[in-house]
């Protein structure tokens, strides 16, 4: 079977449009596209989200917004897509699958392989925008602040010749742009972390204070940092997806991506230079995106992590399979509606319960086999953002926290069992392994390791007693029985609790 690339795609265009499946490809000439964006973190999510928006923008004639991707670690994605001229297939999985050939990525650089090339690329005058999807741990945060003691941060503060962090690459590139007198540059965080743009700015300025303090005024005038809220479920690529693509296209794509029909991108309207017309292809520009971020983080992301933990403990591989169990479905619905919704501000134009219902419906999409362990990866970093702030808010407002205390206990049991099975993918796995005593003391130790002591709920005697009691129950009886008993004991009405 011929491989997907510029030549073979061109030869197959007429055949593709005649096939039964919905198959689309950009009507622009890739040879005429100029790079205007450098994106750090060329994973599946970027390739089914930002790259798709940009592909649609290029299709409207905006020829100077092509993407140069940067892989922060591995050569795999570069090596896989280079023979395909960086073309790949995005499959939308719903009632009926549709296929789109994405051509917006023009090249992929590998940062550890050639850091100088990455710095020079970002410093190119034609680059107007930098975007990032490097996951939570790529920002080196500890208790909401950059961990300046991390060896990678220390290394970048010492020397920027071979950066180790996103802050190092941006700072080195900005220094070069300033020396060259380059055009303004806009930087957008596209990871779902609170104030991501502010974190990028803080990290870059931290390094500029050390390496190029004299350029700070230039940077203030010529570089902007913005946050964004992104939303689209994209599972890992497996052989079944590759086979589906091969069958539809009659071309071999070594690394296609798939995603749900839903897609959202809310971008903070903060640009130092030219702004791509992404609002013409479905994105939203907003002066304040914090409420959109919080809604997505506390319902979709928090719900995803709740289901993933319960899925693992009940032996279900995927999110939608777990939700076929009534007790898991009821638990996540009630956790979101009864514990999190009462303490969450909803953006204008949305209804909280309707948004939650839509989130659950998206998770139930059986055409999208999202693996629970993919969601559980880096869970120590995720739950401190997705769960803990709403727990503190609920304690402050004296509202119900029963479901959240149960799921925190369930997470501790998940970590124990994943460690035993050598299935924990987490940056703190070594520390968690050392603290794994399989008794109630493990609860406090695990929470301390991941930074929970910086949240007020760890000082609430009642909440922590609820967590340890739930932990004891989960270790004593079958998880399904524990869930069923919990749901039976807790009425559907939110309870007012006096938390000590």
CATH of the domain at 237: 3.40.50.720
Is the dihedral angle over the CA atoms 73, 432, 385, 90 positive or is it negative?
A: positive
Q: Could you tell me if 258 and 155 are in contact, meaning their C-beta atoms sit under 8 angstroms apart?
A: no
- Across 153-172, average pLDDT: 98
The number of beta carbons lying within 10 Å of the beta carbon of residue 290 is: 15
Mean pLDDT along residues 407-433: 97
Q: Is residue 279 domain-shared with residue 335, that is, in the same domain?
A: no
- Distance set, CA 147 to CA 139, 194, 433 (Å): 9, 16, 22
Q: Would you call 172 helix, strand, or coil by DSSP? A: helix
Q: Is the per-residue pLDDT at 500 higher than 60?
A: no
- Bridge partners of 380, per DSSP, are none
Average pLDDT over residues 378-394: 97
The lowest-confidence range among 230-234, 320-324, 333-337 is 230-234
Q: Which of 288, 308, 328 is the last residue of a domain?
A: 288
Residues 95 and 149 occupy one common structural domain: yes
Asked which of 159-173, 313-327, 482-496 is least confident by mean pLDDT, the reply is 482-496
CATH number at residue 432: 1.10.1040.10
| Mean pLDDT, range 420-425, rounded to an integer | 97
**C-alpha to C-alpha distance for 245 and 255, rounded to whole angstroms:** 10
Note the pLDDT of residue 144.
86
Of residues 208 and 195, which shows the higher confidence score?
Answer: 208
49 domain residue, yes or no: yes
Supply the pTM of this predicted model. 0.77
Coarse DSSP helix, strand, coil percentages of the chain, rounded to the nearest 5 percent: 55, 15, 35
Contact 433, 445 (CB under 8 A): no
Q: How many CB atoms lie within 10 A of CB 257?
A: 25
Contacts of 23 (CB under 8 A, 6+ apart): 16, 17, 98, 99, 100, 101, 248, 249
End residue of a domain, out of 233, 256, 288: 288
Listed in sequence order, the DSSP H helices in 252-378 are 290-295, 302-313, 319-323, 326-334, 352-363, 372-376
Looking at the fold, whether 283 and 297 belong to one and the same domain comes out as: no
Mean pLDDT, rounded, of the chain: 94
Task: Please choose, from the candidates 215, 119, 108, the residue with its C-alpha nearest in 3D space to the C-alpha of residue 162.
Answer: 119
- At 117-150, the pLDDT tens digits run 999 999 999 999 999 999 999 999 988 899 999 9
Model pLDDT for residues 280-328, shown as the tens digit of each residue: 999 999 999 989 989 999 999 999 999 999 999 999 999 999 999 999 9
Distance CA 275, CA 252 (A): 35
Please count the structural domains in the chain.
2
State which residues form the domain around 485: 291-489
At residue 494, the pLDDT reads 42
Looking up tokens 């460690």 gives 419
362 and 336 fall within a common domain: yes
Please report the pLDDT score of residue 437 as a whole number. Answer: 87
156 and 62 inside one domain: yes
Specify the pLDDT at position 193.
85
What residue ranges in 176-219 does DSSP mark as E strands? Answer: 185-189
pLDDT at 14: 64
Identify the band that residue 235 occupies on the pLDDT scale cut at 50, 70 and 90.
Answer: confident
Residue 175 counted as domain residue: yes
Task: Decide if 414 contacts 306 (C-beta within 8 A).
Answer: no
Q: Which of 334, 277, 370 is nearest to 64 (CA)?
A: 277
Burial 387-409 (b: 16+ CB within 10 A, else e): bbbbbbbbbeeebbbbbbbbbbb
Q: Is residue 177 part of a domain?
A: yes
100: its two tokens: 């789109």
**Which helix or strand (DSSP H or E) is residue 71 part of?**
strand 66-71
Domain identity same for 242 and 332: no
């Amino acid at each position: 079977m011929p491989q997907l690339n510029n030549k073979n795609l061109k030869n197959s265009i007429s055949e593709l449009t005649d096939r039964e499946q919905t198959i689309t490809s950009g009507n622009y000439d890739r040879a005429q596209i100029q790079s205007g964006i450098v994106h750090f973190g060329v994973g599946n999510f970027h390739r089914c989200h930002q790259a798709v928006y940009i592909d649609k923008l290029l299709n409207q004639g905006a020829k100077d917004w092509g993407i140069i991707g940067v892989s922060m670690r591995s050569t795999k994605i570069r090596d896989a897509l280079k023979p395909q001229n960086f073309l790949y297939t995005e499959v939308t999985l719903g009632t009926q699958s549709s296929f789109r050939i994405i051509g917006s990525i023009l090249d992929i650089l590998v940062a550890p392989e050639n850091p100088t090339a990455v710095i020079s690329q970002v410093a190119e005058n034609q680059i107007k925008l930098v975007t990032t999807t490097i996951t939570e741990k790529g920002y080196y945060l500890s208790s909401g602040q950059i961990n300046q003691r991390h060896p990678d941060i220390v290394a970048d503060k010492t020397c920027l010749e071979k950066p180790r962090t996103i802050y190092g690459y941006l700072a080195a590139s900005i220094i070069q742009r300033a020396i060259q007198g380059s055009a303004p540059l806009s930087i957008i965080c596209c990871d779902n972390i609170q104030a991501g743009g502010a974190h990028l700015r803080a990290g870059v300025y931290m390094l500029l204070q050390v390496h190029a303090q004299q350029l700070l005024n230039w940077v203030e005038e010529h570089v902007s940092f913005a946050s964004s809220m992104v939303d689209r479920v994209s599972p890992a690529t497996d052989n079944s997806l590759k086979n589906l693509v091969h069958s539809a296209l009659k071309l071999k794509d070594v690394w296609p991506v798939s995603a749900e029909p839903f897609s959202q991108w809310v971008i903070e309207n903060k640009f130092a230079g030219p702004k791509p017309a992404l609002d013409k292809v479905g994105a939203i520009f907003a002066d304040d995106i914090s409420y959109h971020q919080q809604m997505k983080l506390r319902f979709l992301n928090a719900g995803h992590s709740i289901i993933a933990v319960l899925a693992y403990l009940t032996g279900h591989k995927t999110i939608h399979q777990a939700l076929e169990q009534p007790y898991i479905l009821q638990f996540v619905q009630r956790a979101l509606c009864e514990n999190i919704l009462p303490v969450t501000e909803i953006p204008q134009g949305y209804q909280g319960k309707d948004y939650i219902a839509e989130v659950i419906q998206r998770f139930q999409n059986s055409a999208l086999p999202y693996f629970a362990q993919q969601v559980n990866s880096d869970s120590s970093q995720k739950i401190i953002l997705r769960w803990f702030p709403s727990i503190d808010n609920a304690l402050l407002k004296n509202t119900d926290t029963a479901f959240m205390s149960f799921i925190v206990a369930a997470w501790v049991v998940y970590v124990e069992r994943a460690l035993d099975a050598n299935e924990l993918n987490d940056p703190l796995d070594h520390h968690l392994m050392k603290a794994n005593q399989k008794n109630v003391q493990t609860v406090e130790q695990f929470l301390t390791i991941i930074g929970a002591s910086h949240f007020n709920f760890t000082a609430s005697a009642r909440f922590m007693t609820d967590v340890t009691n739930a932990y004891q129950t989960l270790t004593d009886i079958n998880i399904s029985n524990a869930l069923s008993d919990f749901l039976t004991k807790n009425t559907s009405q939110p309870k007012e609790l006096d938390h000590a």
